[in-house]
Amino acid sequence: MSKIAFIGAGKMAEAILKELLRAGWTDKEDAVLSDIDHARLEQMQADYGVKAAVSNSEAAQDAEIVLLAVKPQKLAEVMTGLKDVLHKEQTVISIAMGKSTEFIEALLPDGIPVVRVMPNNPAMVGAAVSVLSYGRHAGEEARARAREIFSSLGDVYELDEKLQDEAMAISGCGPAYFYVLAEALCDAGVRLGLDRDLVLKLVTGTMIGSGMMLRETGKHPAQLKDMVTSPGGSTIAALEALEEAGIRNAFYKAVTAAWGRAKEV
């Protein structure tokens, strides 16, 4: 078992905690949370039986892993309050969007391993995609710990940090793109006369199955699309309508906007 401190107790922190407890990576005696929202801490204690600290520094003091789950705008303030208790034997992991390991290292005593990661929303059901990048002091032990933690949530990939924001615009924001697509398909089905509960099941199953086809076959999406698209059929008519509506350009703009916003934080 490993000791971990969560600085911030929001939805993503809860998802990570839940999966680490389920996987046996830590237990409720070795997990401690800190948050300015005391009602939230009380709820987390009641739900998971973990400890709550009265301050960030108290939470981090004896932890092997210090997981920063605070808003990017608050990160510098939080790090200032932690710098006197953190040391080289600990690993600091940040899920704050847009904040580099270099930014975090500058706020810490020299030599502390820092890992940056962006897990996405499906972490809440143990199906995340997480992209890890490493600071200059993150050796193999710190990297292995980070991989263990986020492997408990789903798939893990490692990436040069200079491309972290680009990956975030795809996998970090990506679930929202799929949810909007699912909602639009549901509404379209209702417009044709389908029951809303049924059409949601149809859309959900179709999205999951299509994702499995991508994963299991390893084929390019264009190849799988062509398998569904008969000459002169309904699918090609639908694809023509999507192209006329500018679907590809919409996604180009969406991903670029997400990337640009991360650079501004």
CA distances from 67 to 8, 19, 194, 253 (A): 8, 14, 45, 32
What the block records as the tokens of 12 is 């993503």
Those residues whose C-beta lies under 8 Å from the C-beta of residue 121, and which sit 6 or more positions away, are 128, 175, 176
Q: Are 137 and 112 in contact (CB under 8 A)?
A: yes
Q: Name the residue among 60, 51, 55 with its Cα closest to residue 92.
A: 60
CA 143 and chain centroid, separation: 17
pLDDT interval class at 263 (50, 70, 90): confident
What the block records as the tokens of 35 is 């948050």
Name the percent of the chain lying above pLDDT 90: 95
- pTM of the full predicted structure? 0.91
Exposed / middle / buried, residue 145 (Cβ in 10 Å: 0-12, 13-18, 19+): buried
Q: Name the residue among 126, 53, 96 with its Cα closest to residue 115.
A: 96
Q: Are 72 and 97 in contact (CB under 8 A)?
A: yes
51 in helix, strand or coil?
strand
Q: Are 130 and 155 in contact (CB under 8 A)?
A: yes
pLDDT interval class at 265 (50, 70, 90): confident
Kindly report, residue by residue over 85-133, the tens digit of the pLDDT.
999 999 999 999 989 999 999 999 999 999 999 999 999 999 999 999 9
Locus of tokens 């930014």: 103
What the block records as the tokens of 32 is 């401690």
**What pLDDT score was predicted for residue 212?**
97
CA distances from 109 to 68, 163, 183 (A): 16, 26, 47
Domains of the chain: 4-161 (3.40.50.720), 172-264 (1.10.3730.10)
Alpha-carbon distance 236 to 238, whole Å?
Answer: 5
CA distances from 53 to 24, 112, 171 (A): 22, 22, 32
Kindly report, residue by residue over 7-65, the tens digit of the pLDDT.
999 999 999 999 999 999 999 999 999 999 999 999 999 999 999 999 999 999 989 99
**What pLDDT score was predicted for residue 46?**
94
**What pLDDT score was predicted for residue 2?**
80
**What pLDDT score was predicted for residue 63?**
95
The tally of CA atoms less than 13 A away on the side-chain side of residue 150 is: 28
**What pLDDT score was predicted for residue 1?**
59
